[in-house]
Structure 1
């Protein structure tokens, strides 16, 4: 090794250590001036010797890379949302659900503060940061690696051997002091101040010039390690080792043995959080044992082994000036309170949800009332009460809308529905635009170059009146439109063409059949395999599908009985949109296990638990998290929970090994 190379390696190691001491441990071991001088020496050496380039060098943090369009990347492991709780009763209900699945096993928990920023997923291979992707919709997000590399508390290269290949999740935050200084500088420059740290942190990740990101005092707090097989027994142990490897893990994490200890932690931080250097909006409680986390698994939306406790939302009072009504893509009507502007949780609130007619009647909400407003889950403002002491003498009860505000069709409300609906499905302009916007959305057809404003423009110019019309658009029709150029028109047509590759389950979701969300669409696609089988299915055939109830079944039948819908589906087919599962998706699928329910418990050697569960579903079986009389088989690995084994034996359910299962299929 040459002396130059040795000098480079030594300088990089030295600067990494100083960087870690300052940004992670908050314990500077060198002056800012000396650090800058060493960094400049390193930059000069690297410039003269590009043959010794190192992607994880401290010099890579200063930014300079410009990203025009952020690439969308699918997450290897889905980033789930967390279920929320707001009371001791909610936590006790969650604990009961956990214990029901785990039986008599002792359970301990970790308590962590819920940081208020932008979620990020970092991927490391052989100790090096490979990529950083935003949460997005949980299934896919934006590649913001160039911007993330500028955040000095995120290690580009790990200090110790940790795990060979893994993902680590955390929150990009903007500490309050740094946020305050940014706003002082903006005000001095004559610019409007930023509203709150969370939105500013999130917006920073999408700045095109990483050199601009490097100027912002962003930080990253990590809270979850994901890998195929972790060499740790608990979540707490994984985080402790991640801290040793160089990650910034907050020291506020605590292991709790009971709900009472969890409540003590919540009560402590409900007041102490205001002394922290960053914003928090609650506490996250997790089952500590990684083995028990595997046993508990996930619902369609959230892990069963974790729950968020939200601190009481900030509440303000203001005057309700008027009530307007919004029409959703399915025709659902949502009443909206138009308010005298009020600052709430760092943003100016002018509008808030009133939910439905029942809520207005229950709270007796009236125009000109002084109402209490809070942010539900700290995000969507809602009216939660009325200050009756300030009600005007001439106040009149609210009469709920009787006709659609967009097309004037009389509204309907079916028994059991909380909302009123506009039944003019194919004539109401908002519903037409809403269905097209849903069709092109990220979780559905994900058509690049096409957004809500463009859809409205295309509809206004009578170029489209439904989502099938998109596939007949021509570049020359789009170029003359307002704010359109040749390049943007070409990109839109390319995006529409590329959407023909979107798999069937997402196309099914995109069709906008009422009550058919992402998860239901996947189940239906897997069961019926193509659109014709689904739309020709009887009510009995539909409810025979796992988790498909009467309401969903009737909605599918109503959709398939409408000739306009069948025409749209046939047109999409003719354009080449995927209306059946691909050969690859069908490759390993059989009906071998149709009607069989399996519980998977323990640690396996030939397949991971996720591979085992996927195999069961690919072969027509169902995976359940808890044992019941309906369970057909328990697949038991090492460390199977003793309570599960006892329950299986009591119910006479066959316990089979991983090898037995492989032989079965």
Structure 2
């Protein structure tokens, strides 16, 4: 049985004298031709019409104008409000933008938003029904009159929406059930959240809704993130939760969130039954799902759950069970609640999907070296106790060999208990297999094949490769610049502050403090880290460039052979055969190094870096002794008497090891000025002694190295 609104007649809205409801014009008289009175009248009509179009689109799924026409009306309203300075907080235009906010206020709910008692065992569901009937009989109700409203259990974020005199006053996350975060400005950006209710709503009306991301929209959003080189969301719920608490409402507005409303928390005018409450929601512009039924027995509720379980994969939203609610409001009050959950509702959970699941889309991820990895986007499935929503398809040849396509049902495994991959096709739902693109999904550069592997030819001109290259440049295998992780790199690139690795060295404090989440201390720490990386050891610099197949081990061998970057680059560009004589370098690696520098974009990027960074010459002969043999040091922050690179070279010249990350094998973490927090936290976890620069110098002096100190 579907929730419908049999008594509501839309003709009133349609018959009003409003030219923007049906077949509205999309060409308007010039703004300068309007008087202020005429502009006010047009604004009111446009607001009224847009609210009605929103109600039809979001609450009834029955639009009466095309999207393009709606956009024209919306743009006209924006232009009028701006030209005549007539913007209002209640206007539909205020629901799609907003300035970033610093924090969320904590707000008490108008009524408790409790959790739901649940089980996946049908015996527990029947026991719930027996308890309900027994307690209602004792309270004077006829247990044979008990009816249940059955609803999908949405896998999203539950929120309270409070309307006063029909206007949205606040939207609050569930929080701890008693109070939550005020996210009203974010909620106003969601199209399915009406800023003002329609028809004749109660004077005070607080409803509970579930904010969610539709499955198709989630997969499309994840695909975009993967193609941009960003980490995808694990599932729609995580995507929703991460979005609704963004500090910048404009970010929320860009993400495809929607809402279903499913309960009244408080109202100045209450219906006698939950079913009747649901019937009037669409009249007010509050969107409900069609997947709701009113049943006369618990067996009807169980049948509802089993039917929905069979149709689960076909639903446009993610659910993890059904909710069974006593319909009669007086009966609900008699049943009451515990400290944790209402005693009149129960969730009958679905079993977790196990290993076999459909592929809903395929995205192509661009790696640091330009390698393209196809990723299957899945209906979330349980694999070894972990929910998996994506899996590797490895490469184009693997796709063809397994005949994998969008729509196929596949078996998913986890390699090494970590990386999920598609093992086999269980049931074909597509014709043939996924066809690999011939151009990069990020930068549109041509794709080249090297055996089974596909590569983007865009190099550092490709944004995805740029971000990953910066992350690698700053990583433990590169120059070990703390503070440049995935999130901060994405901020720097997306803000336009950094368009190349070299741009890192041109950053100013004001650039960083203008970004969300950055303060003066974090900005100073990053700039100090970058300053300390301007004279890196040659092996670290060679590894940091991200040359294919040149990791730390190969970089050390190349540095020993060529001693200077200039000598190495000369061989790389003009004498690749000489590279082959180096340990760790064969014909294939030599060719990859040569091709890296043959790329005009890469060569220009390296030249720009060298204008700001001076790799230190590798000392190939002579040197110290074994005074520090067996000791492993890690450095963080800036040293005053010597550069961090000097200190690392000094340690290695006297038999010690200087590594970039703290582990159980580390003997000392040397902390300079403006250190990062990560290494100190790792040192504490591994019981590694932390010493400052003076203590480090004392340690060296104790071992007879006074003359080597700067």
TM-score using structure 2 length: 0.45
- The higher radius of gyration belongs to 2
TM-score using structure 1 length: 0.48
